[in-house]
Amino acid sequence: MAEIPTSAVAHAPPPVQRRWLRTLPVTALLPLGLTLVFALLTLQRPAIIDDYVENLLVDYRFKARNLIAPLAVPDQVVVVAIDDRSLAVHGRWPWTRTRIAELVDRVNAAQPRVVAVDLFFSESESPEADARLAAALARNREHTATALVFETRAGGSFSGEVPDILVDQAIGRVRQPGLLRPLEASNALLPPEPLASALVFGHANYLPDRNGKLRAEYLYLRYGGEYFPALSLQAARLFLGLPTEKTAIDGVFGVDLGGRLIPADVHGALYINYYGAGRFTRVSATDVLDGTASAETLRGKLVFIGTTAVATYDMIATPFAANVPGVEKNATVAANILTGDFLHDASRALDALIVLLVGAVLFLLLRRRAAAPAFVALFGFTLLLLATNLAFFSRGLRLNLAYPLGLVVVQGVGIIGQRFLAEERKSREMRRMFSSYVTERVVTQLIANPGMAHLGGHRQLATILFSDIRGFTTFSERHRPEEVVAILNEYLGAMTDVVFRWEGTLDKFIGDAVMVFWGAPLPQEDQAERSLRCALHMLGRLDALNARFAARGGPQLEIGIGINTGEVIVGNIGADGKKMDYTVIGDHVNLASRVESLTKKYGSRILITENTLARVLGLVERNAFGHVAVREVELVTVKGKETPIRLYDFSPAEHGTKSSFVEHRSETVVRHLEK
């Protein structure tokens, strides 16, 4: 057998390693690039992502928070609801102002601290009815706030003067007004006199998001250069007993209410921290009017009077439900102010830093993992990210989730998808490479554990088997080619089955010769034993084949088998990209081939070296191979080696006879092993 210089294999860069080096820049730069892109998006905050993606994720966080640990609803805020039952008892909406005045009087009789009337009176009903309602509201004017609607339609502009009634109620303290971008009102829909002079107003304007949900309360709007508070802010101020002078607008911090900082952006928008749908204490207006409602429920409380019946059309969409009464939104904002249950938006710099941190963790987490473990790690990290974000959200800090989660999805799916494709490609390559060498079970093991297959050249202890049909050249010359090929195919097919039965690696067919080795691509501690059992099985299978051949008048074949164990070089050898064979080379391969060629000289069917025998000697002594005879035949010197090596005949014995091991040294029997 021609020898290949070991240095040519040992120093050749492995194909897998070269591929890894080529893909390293992509695998490193792609995650880095994605991380930077998402960090920049976090700083820019495109409106379409914030309005649709981030807001939707906020909705889910609200619902998840309320499933795990609902935010406690403050009991100092109560809603007197003009509900469906009230309309059924006292008539359809709108009610007369006389009945509303009666409801206000009944509520005040329960001695609440503040009453906030979330109803509009922009038109006159009658002088008598207007005067009746004005009197009811004026009796407790210092502790009553009433809703007022301003026109804020796009393109509208203010002209004229702000009515004196409103000027006195405007927020007079404004810090850094140049930073503010508030809602601009072009008109105020004031109620008729004497109502207008009897009321303390708070605006009831709101602006839903692009998807129709109301997530923010505009704590103030600007009308004629003056700033007017929302009904919820006005009600909270009255409940705290603060004069108008204690309300200040700050272009940086939001709204200062008597030392309480309310976080609002430059538009005056406060992100509403909803408690849920229908969680405030509700008292039906009909129970108040009928005197059946408990006065203790309203005493000392901030009472919002508003409609909750569907027919009144004062419904809004919130993160919790599509039809929530508007009065409940106002009650929620007032409760947020009184309790400090605010949702603080994290700074863009902090959100971008989190994105960078997520990108770094993903890179470290996924870079060395196979597709399946990477998916498990990614899933676990995603759960951790969601849980951490929800924990901060529950404590009032709204960290952006769209961008870090988007980075996890894009980078994770990209990397894992690439890994799946790469592993599938490697699996196909490995299956194509080894399916003709080893059994399907071994191929499956190699695919599951690709690190076990050293595809580059490396040194490995292996056991090599050569077998050859004796006299096949003569047989080929005397028979038709079709018959020769048919016999040879049948023989080689049978021998291949035997080799795979003992999980040998079928190296190649050399004409009628078979070359097999054990110990690679998977390590096999019992490689020598497997080779001997395979050799015995090959002889048994040959006897069965000869019986079939004889039955149809075919030839009788005889083979010689040579086996040797030693350190060889294993790897893909050939022309890269053209013709590669997974094979073994080295002195011990050459020795196995020469041992096989000596089987005819010594009349042996199986001839093994002392290297192989040394690894199975204990098994022979314990009779693990059954009926076999092991006999030393000769000391041989291998070309290029000074130390001779002993050869042994390893033959199946007839059933019922004693198995024996005979070692000749100067024609002396050393020992006999009994069965």
Residues 344-389 have pLDDT tens digits of 999 999 999 999 999 999 888 877 666 678 788 889 999 999 999 9
Stretch 621-650: mean pLDDT, rounded? Answer: 83
- 3-class secondary structure, 242: coil
Q: pLDDT per residue over 208-218, tens digit each? A: 988 889 999 99
Token output for 318? 């919130």
- 3-class secondary structure, 317: strand
Per cent of the chain over pLDDT 90 is 59
CA 20, 26, 27 angle in degrees (round to 5)?
70
Which band of pLDDT confidence, cut at 50, 70 and 90, is reported for residue 254? very high
Which band of pLDDT confidence, cut at 50, 70 and 90, is reported for residue 29? confident
Cα(483)–Cα(476) distance, integer angstroms: 9
Q: Quick check: 653 pLDDT over 80?
A: no
176 alpha carbon, distance to own chain's centre: 45
CA neighbor of 327 nearest in space, from 303, 311, 343:
303
CA 319, 253, 268 angle in degrees (round to 5)?
50
Which band of pLDDT confidence, cut at 50, 70 and 90, is reported for residue 11? very low
With contact defined as beta carbons under 8 Å apart, do 594 and 638 qualify?
yes
Least confident of 133-142, 338-347, 391-400, 453-462: 453-462
Which band of pLDDT confidence, cut at 50, 70 and 90, is reported for residue 443? low
Q: In the CATH hierarchy, which top-level class contains the domain 449-669?
A: alpha beta
With contact defined as beta carbons under 8 Å apart, do 207 and 215 qualify?
no
Q: Give the CA distances from residue 503 to residues 243, 388, 442, 499, 580, in Å, rounded to whole numbers and listed in that order.
A: 92, 51, 8, 6, 22
Beta strands in 72-130 (DSSP E): 77-82, 114-117
* Length reported for the chain: 675
Q: pLDDT per residue over 272-323, tens digit each? A: 999 998 899 999 999 999 999 999 999 999 999 999 998 888 899 999 988 8
Give the ranges where 556-674 is alpha helix by DSSP (H). 587-597, 610-621
Burial class (CB in 10 A: 0-12, 13-18, 19+), 436: exposed
Q: Which pLDDT value is given to residue 640?
A: 62
Q: Is 400 or 15 the better-scoring residue by pLDDT?
A: 400
- 3-class secondary structure, 215: coil
> Domain map of the chain by residue range?
30-66+346-418, 72-340, 449-669
Cα(334)–Cα(339) distance, integer angstroms: 9
Q: Is the bond leading into 177 cis (omega within 30 degrees of zero)?
A: no
Q: Quick check: 178 pLDDT over 50?
A: yes
Which band of pLDDT confidence, cut at 50, 70 and 90, is reported for residue 28? low
Q: Which pLDDT value is given to residue 476?
A: 84
Which band of pLDDT confidence, cut at 50, 70 and 90, is reported for residue 427? low
Q: pLDDT per residue over 57-78, tens digit each? A: 999 999 999 999 999 999 999 9
Which band of pLDDT confidence, cut at 50, 70 and 90, is reported for residue 8? very low
Helix H or strand E encompassing 119: none
Q: Quick check: 670 pLDDT over 80?
A: no
Q: Which pLDDT value is given to residue 430?
A: 57
Q: Is the bond leading into 74 cis (omega within 30 degrees of zero)?
A: no
Cα(309)–Cα(232) distance, integer angstroms: 21
Q: Which pLDDT value is given to residue 428?
A: 62
Per cent of the chain over pLDDT 70 is 84
Q: Which residues of 308-346 are buried (b: 16+ CB within 10 A; e: fewer)?
A: bbeebebbbbbbbeeebbbbbbbbbbbbbbbeebbbeee
Q: Which pLDDT value is given to residue 580?
A: 62
CA neighbor of 78 nearest in space, from 295, 237, 403:
295
With contact defined as beta carbons under 8 Å apart, do 45 and 270 qualify?
no
287: which residues sit within 8 A by CB, 6+ positions away?
A: 293
329: which residues sit within 8 A by CB, 6+ positions away?
A: 206, 214, 217, 272, 316, 318
Stretch 70-92: mean pLDDT, rounded? Answer: 94
Cα(294)–Cα(112) distance, integer angstroms: 12
555: Cα within 13 Å, side-chain hemisphere: 21
CA neighbor of 231 nearest in space, from 325, 332, 152:
332
Least confident of 20-34, 237-251, 623-637, 650-664: 650-664
Query: Pairing between strand 144-148 and 114-117?
Result: parallel
**Which residues make beta-bridge pairs with 295?**
none
Q: Which pLDDT value is given to residue 14?
A: 46
Bin 503: left if φ > 0, else alpha if -120 < ψ < 50, else beta. Answer: left
Q: Give the CA distances from residue 410 to residues 33, 127, 533, in Å, rounded to whole numbers and listed in that order.
A: 12, 66, 54
Q: Which pLDDT value is given to residue 675?
A: 29
Cα dihedral 478/479/481/482 (nearest 10): -170
